[in-house]
Chains A and B, each alone.
Chain A
Amino acid sequence: MKLCPFCGHQNRPGSLFCEDCAQPLFEDAKVLTLQTKQIELPGDVDARSTWGTASFEKHATVLLHVRDASEPISLRPTENQLTIGRADNTSPIGPDLDLTPFGAMDKGVSRLHAAIIRNEDTLTLVDLNSSNGTYLNGQRLTPDTPRVLRDGDEIRFGRLVAHLYFQEDLRA
């Protein structure tokens, strides 16, 4: 099977475009879309010419670097959702990762904004119907629709920008 890097749909080998989201699946697909892609990116996003790997090793961890924060946050996603949002003492359920210290309130992060889920050898990001949306590399996610994450991806929760890096486990 050929996993679509955009929506995670399983396509049959030999498919050239994803059956589910119409994105190109072949090797040098970037060349076809790169020029026009830069135009549609919002101003505060760097246009990226290369993609990191989508493969997420068994013992790997994730570093989430919130823009302007001094320290990255280290995460270990599980097969359960790792929820990201803003803790609120009126709400009984808090997120696994609370972004309040990074100005979540001002930047329009919802209480349960998004989640990272670990699959067999990939990570996916899913928007949990947040008020201001989750953006992956400038593209807004459809709520409840997982997208595959790659090393170096830029994620935006409302107006809070963060970069995601895969970190292999050095003991392995």
Chain B
Amino acid sequence: MAYDGFDPYSVLGIAQTATAEEVKLAYRRLARRLHPDANRNPGAGAQFQYINKAYEMLSDPAQRQAYEKAHASDDADRPYFTLRVTPSRRRIAPLDEPQVVYLLADIIPDPRATEARFRRDTRLNLVLALDRSNSMNGARLNEVKIAAHQIIDHLNEDDIFSIVAFSDRAEVIIPATPVNDKPAMKARVSMMTASGGTEIFQGLNGAVAEARRYLAPRLVNHILLLTDGHTFGDQPQSLQLARTAAQEGIVVSAMGLGQEWNDEFLDELASATGGTSAYINSARAVARFMNSHVRNLSNVFADRIQVSIAPDSDIKLEYVFKLQPSPQPLTIGQGFIPLGSLHRNRPISVLMQFELPPGLSNGFRSVARIVTIGDILAERISSFHTMSDTSVEVAADAMIENPPTAILDALGKLTLYRMQERAQEALEQGDVRKATQHLENLAARLAALGETELAQQARSEAQQVAHTAALTDKGRKTLKYQTRHLLLGSDGGEVG
């Protein structure tokens, strides 16, 4: 484990002038808060190692002196990215019932990231995993080939590129190699033909093998998987592989074409690695989606960003969602949640929902400690570390303040996404009336926000559900990915 950007003083929350006694007290106080025995949250377990490390560095005079000497000049310590956390309310009233607090975390790249030296040094290790099952035959496969040609055209010579085509087995069309013979690569793409069924594990497995050939911490190691089919039986195996790949530093993004593919599975696959999932509703849009995805990759400044959220032991983390650069639901339940890449000109924003217990006592109290780590590609720094402790003041006379606009804006749109999720959940529980109602409410809100077309879609799905107790495949995917899409540009890049 590396400790770049790791400041033991801020981890323990003490001044540089702290005495040995103060160091010990600070350590004990934090250990009570975040020790895995006292705090069952996976984030707390993951963060406890940092507290131990900080204590180890500062309790040993020799190590403490060495740290001070190494960090005597402040310039070297300028952060590569900063973490800013905004609560929905800074003052809350003590209540005899549970209450909700939201935190918005922005991971903001340092302005240095746009300097030429950082730009030049973003190199890709890109694998395209392309479905070429029977159903891809015709326009779909043609569009995929066009997209692949365009991607090859835009790659640099020192990027690493490969293509794995899969149906019920995988075939390496282009083995991982530096891009120095573009015409030959394009010729191989042109020869792809469609046949067989869809087994995503086959494709993923082949793609991971290609990604591993040149796998390096200073590269953007990325698999872009495109499928139009439902994979059967191999989902658990695929997810397991994706998690392993994520630990090695490979991000998997997934694109589903048409209506047949399994959106829940691809969402989970992408979220588990910090990648993104997208819905492409017509073959014509394939090239645009794939190209812009790859173009974004060359804007990466820091990669393998992960966040660890450790609420205090009496506080419950209920929901986490990545708002930007690409909106994606995240899974709680792991110590570090992969967030994917940090672009040089755009922050990563994550919205969290917590439940605070009843009967809080007056005064300042901490809500959660949030740690982000990530690799700075150009500097070959791994696990650059930054953290933030968020507190709120509990006071009986807490005035109702207006929540920050950024939170309201994001949450207003996220609520719409949640509404379609709830409709889906209600349907799974067989509650048709509830599902219909959620969809009608969603339609009303969308209409009020001027999203007429999407509102229409929600309304017609509500009718569909009322009659058949099921959404149409197309409607379900449209509502899910379009409401998610609304989050884009909620405060597009203004932060920081």
Contacts and interface: CB of A to CB of B under 8 A. Distances in A.
Interface in B407-450: 407-408, 411-412, 415-416, 418-419, 436-438, 440-442, 444-445, 447-450
B400 A27 contact: yes
B100 interface: yes
A20 B102 CA distance: 18
Contact of B437 (A16, A36, A39, A145): A145
A61 interface: no
A7 B403 contact: no
B95 A13 contact: yes
B100 A139 contact: no
Contacts of B356: 14
Given A22-B416, A142-B440, A14 B100 contact: yes
B402 A17 contact: no
Interface in A1-30: 1, 7, 12-17, 20-24, 26-28
A40 interface: yes
A22 B407 CA distance: 15
A37 interface: yes
A33 interface: yes
A16 B400 contact: no
B349 interface: no
A40 B447 contact: yes
Given A16-B407, A17-B411, A27 B100 contact: no
Contact of A1 (B97, B402, B412, B441): B97
B448 A40 contact: yes
B355 interface: yes
Contacts of A32: 408, 412
B100 A12 contact: yes
Which of B100, B402, B403 has the most chain A CB atoms closer than 10 A to its own CB? B100
B450 A12 contact: no
B98 A12 contact: yes
Given A24-B412, A26-B403, A36-B448, A15 B100 contact: yes
Contacts of B445: 21-23
A142 B438 CA distance: 10
Contacts of B92: 14
A75 to B, nearest CB: 27
A62 B38 CA distance: 55
Contact of B100 (A7, A13, A26): A13
B494 to A, nearest CB: 18
Contact of B444 (A1, A14, A15, A139): A139
Interface residues of A, number: 25
Contacts of A12: 97-100, 355
A39 B416 CA distance: 20
Given A22-B415, A22-B419, A24-B412, A14 B88 contact: yes
A13 B440 contact: no
Contacts of B88: 14, 16
B408 A26 contact: yes
Given A14-B92, A21-B441, A28 B449 contact: no
B89 interface: yes
Contacts of B408: 16, 24, 26, 32
Given A14-B88, A14-B99, A40-B448, A26 B402 contact: yes
B493 to A, nearest CB: 22
B101 interface: yes
A28 B408 CA distance: 11
B328 to A, nearest CB: 20
Which of B403, B412, B436 has the most chain A CB atoms closer than 10 A to its own CB? B412
Nearest to A21: B441
A23 B89 CA distance: 19
Interface string B180-196: 00000000000000000
A15 B89 CA distance: 11
B315 to A, nearest CB: 12
Given A32-B412, A33-B448, A37-B448, A27 B99 contact: no
Given A22-B442, A26-B402, A13 B97 contact: yes
B408 to A, nearest CB: 6
A142 to B, nearest CB: 5
A20 B406 CA distance: 22
Interface in A118-172: 139, 142, 145
A4 B355 CA distance: 19
Contacts of B444: 21, 139
A7 B440 CA distance: 12
Contact of B441 (A20, A33, A36): A20
Nearest to B433: A144
B402 A28 contact: yes
Given A139-B444, A145-B437, A16 B411 contact: yes
B166 to A, nearest CB: 40
Interface string B378-399: 0000000000000000000000
30 contacts: A12-B97, A12-B100, A12-B355, A13-B93, A13-B97, A13-B99, A13-B100, A14-B356, A16-B407, A16-B408, A16-B412, A21-B445, A22-B418, A23-B441, A24-B408, A24-B412, A26-B408, A27-B400, A27-B402, A28-B402, A32-B408, A33-B448, A33-B449, A37-B448, A39-B450, A139-B444, A142-B436, A142-B437, A142-B440, A145-B437
The 10 tightest CB contacts between A and B, nearest first, are: A14-B100, A21-B441, A17-B415, A14-B99, A13-B99, A22-B415, A22-B445, A36-B450, A22-B419, A12-B100
Interface of B: 88-89, 92-93, 95, 97-102, 355-356, 400, 402-403, 407-408, 411-412, 415-416, 418-419, 436-438, 440-442, 444-445, 447-450
Given A20-B441, A21-B441, 7 more contacts: A1-B97, A12-B100, A13-B97, A16-B88, A32-B408, A33-B449, A36-B450
